[in-house]
Amino acid sequence: MARWQPDARGRLEAAAFELFRERGFEQTTVTDIATRAGLDKRTFYRLFGDKREALFGGSEQLEDLLVKAVTETDAAPFEAVVAAFRQVAEEIFADRLELVRVRQTIIESSPELQERELRKMGSLAAAVVAALCAKGLDQTAATLAAESGVTVFRVAYTRWVEPGNRDSLTDLIAEVTSELQAITSPARR
């Protein structure tokens, strides 16, 4: 068995990111990643399960922060979820636009990575639903608040990474929230 390696996870993630950018996701093997990180293949599989997972290292941190923010606020459910995403935008994404853009290009290059990203967003939404239910909200209301919040975040995020965009992710989340409210509000006839 491989010896315990300080920050093996971080080194493998960094190596995977570099290689996916240099050679492309399909052209990179797990052996390539492990070699670049100075580790072995078994260590990679023990920590990540599969090649795709190396690109989603931050998702647990994101989920924990979201759940904590949703749990601790007294705001109404949808407002709570949106505020939690704004906090995530400030604390995790704000200073990383260039990195996020490269990562997005990698994801868009592979249907497999797109599937994994959708699954991550699904599991994020499920964690938020659970947090809202724990506060006494029923399943339907919790799901609608969480999914609507995720939709707002995804749309804002897409606009944020677009070439030429100069708005902050936090501002875009606020703007897209208003647009969602306008577009779903019952038509006045």
Q: Which positions lie near its own copies, rule CB under 8 A?
A: 76-79, 111, 114-116, 118-119, 122, 140-141, 143-145, 147-148, 151-152, 154-155, 158-159, 176, 179-181, 183-187
| Complex with its own copies: residue 46 or 119, whichever CB lies closer | 119
CB 92 within 8 A of CB 106: no
**Alpha-carbon dihedral sign for residues 122, 126, 132, 137:** positive
| Complex with its own copies: residue 39 or 169, whichever CB lies closer | 169
Q: Cα–Cα distances in Å, from 7 out to 13, 48, 60, 63, 104? A: 10, 13, 16, 21, 24
Report which of 180, 140, 136, 182 is spatially closest to residue 156, judged by C-alpha positions: 180
| Complex with its own copies: residue 43 or 177, whichever CB lies closer | 177
Distance, CA of 139 to CA of 162 (rounded, Å): 34
In the complex, minimum distance from the CB of residue 14 to its own copies, in angstroms, rounded to a whole number: 26
| Complex with its own copies: residue 11 or 116, whichever CB lies closer | 116
In the complex, minimum distance from the CB of residue 63 to its own copies, in angstroms, rounded to a whole number: 17
In the complex, minimum distance from the CB of residue 77 to its own copies, in angstroms, rounded to a whole number: 6
